[in-house]
Amino acid sequence: MLNISRWFAGGGDLLLRIAAILIAITFHEVAHGYVAYRLGDDTAKNQGRLSLNPIKHLDPLGALMFVIFRFGWAKPVPVNPLYFKGDRRRGMFLVGLAGPLTNFVLAFIAVLLLVSVSAWQSGAALVFLREVMFINVILGVFNLIPFPPLDGSKLLAYLLPRQSAYRLGQLEQYGPLVLILLLATGMLGRILFPLVEFVINALATIALFLTSGI
């Protein structure tokens, strides 16, 4: 079930992978926007970004990177912490955490279904569940990198002193270029591959434990 090396090498159906990508990025961005909305910021809601329509969240370059390099990104949901109720830094931490956490939940659901239908040897449904599992774990882990504009930078900024957090935020203008270079050279895959494998195996272990008595 967890043939990670083969998946990264290109195994799987392209159309099913694209469908899994759209699901992953849509729920990821909606989670950001929804948490921001609950904290008092209706910017994403007013711009129609709380929609489950994947077109509203699609970044063409990020999606292409996902198809080619297995890592990518969506169009960021607009968030204005000035509207947050309470601690704005804590609010950005929660907004940043919401996306990756949602991806891990989706991946876990896919793993549970894979465990439940482990007797299947082939079929589009099984392949699709694998794609959902891989894509969501990859997107979740990838976004936890503590480098702007990824979500991990928002989590790190909350833990840093304000001056250090401000300096971290200044790196955001260079973020996309750095990430593309890391993707193109394969360095990002070498860094994240072990983490993705660890998370998937951890989710599989938990799923097997939960379903062992069923």
**In a 3-state reduction of DSSP, which class is residue 149?**
coil
Whether 29 is a known active-site residue: answer yes
d(CA 144, CA 131): 20
pLDDT at 66 over 80: no
**Average of per-residue pLDDT across 70-99:** 90
d(CA 145, CA 149): 9
User: 29, 131, 172, 197: which is the annotated catalytic residue?
Assistant: 29
- Enter the pTM of the model: 0.87
Mean pLDDT of the chain, nearest integer: 86
Please answer whether residues 15 and 196 qualify as being in contact, where contact means their C-beta atoms are separated by less than 8 angstroms: no
- Per-residue model confidence as pLDDT tens digits over 160-174: 998 898 888 888 778
Q: Give the alpha-carbon dihedral of 84, 87, 92, 95, to 10 degrees.
A: -70
- Per-residue model confidence as pLDDT tens digits over 107-133: 999 999 888 775 555 678 888 999 999
